Amino acid sequence: MATNAQIRWGFRLADGLSTLSKPDVSKGAINSSNQLFYTLQAGVTADWQLGKHLHLQPSLVFSSKGGKNSTHYSVTNNNTFYVIETRGSIRHNYIELPINLLYKFNAGSGKLFAGLGGYAAEYLGGKMDGAVFRQDGEGGITITPIEVIPGGVPPPIDPADAKPTVEKLDAGANITAGYEFKFGLQLALNYSYGLTQTNYGKNRVATVSVAYLFK
């Protein structure tokens, strides 16, 4: 099968909407509200024909995800109780490797396809537009601008530290369906379901993608 396999390479571009699930309660989150956020993916892709209908399609893309987030935390640090609220738009940037197994069948001059797969991604950096609101046990309130850095555990429980943190690795499952034209253009609808915590919830991404595969 590998000897007879045909491999094509090309480019892939996708955009759509993303959001974040509720943060893990183990991080101290007691309430969270997340809204949709614009997402973008761009990179290279390949199509490896394994059989008459089966194709393996890996890609390597820059992926920008996130959501509009408002989360309340309840934490204790150095015997001091804090109520912390983060508000803002969260953008997580990744280098991502999605791999999907596709089933293709003839439809008109091209092919319809559907498939399942997964992805792994490494965090490159990000941004959170908004502020951290802290209320200590004595009722004092501090408002601090936000800067996102990789690694560590949120929320920023030190009143002098205004740097919420993001896990470096993200992984999840994919589902896709679309149409491939005879000349190599692919149009698809895609959904990614994150399975790992970013520290602000799990990534949920729906996109429309365009890819072109060279013969």
pLDDT at 59: 97
For residue 121, which phi and psi values (nearest 5 degrees)? -145, 150
Could you tell me which residue, 9 or 161, shows the higher pLDDT? 9
Average pLDDT on 147-161 reads: 42
Burial class (CB in 10 A: 0-12, 13-18, 19+), 76: exposed
pTM passes above 0.85: no
Over residues 84-141, the pLDDT tens digits come to 666 677 888 999 999 999 999 999 899 999 999 999 999 998 877 665 665 555 555 5
DSSP three-state, residue 35: strand
Average pLDDT on 2-22 reads: 84
DSSP three-state, residue 21: coil
Over residues 49-91, the pLDDT tens digits come to 999 999 999 999 999 998 877 776 666 666 555 666 666 778 8
User: Considering all CA atoms of the chain, what is the largest pairwise distance in Å, rounded to the nearest integer?
Assistant: 72
Averaged pLDDT score across all residues of the chain: 80
- Provide the sign of the torsion angle of the four alpha carbons 20, 33, 69, 85, taken in this order: negative
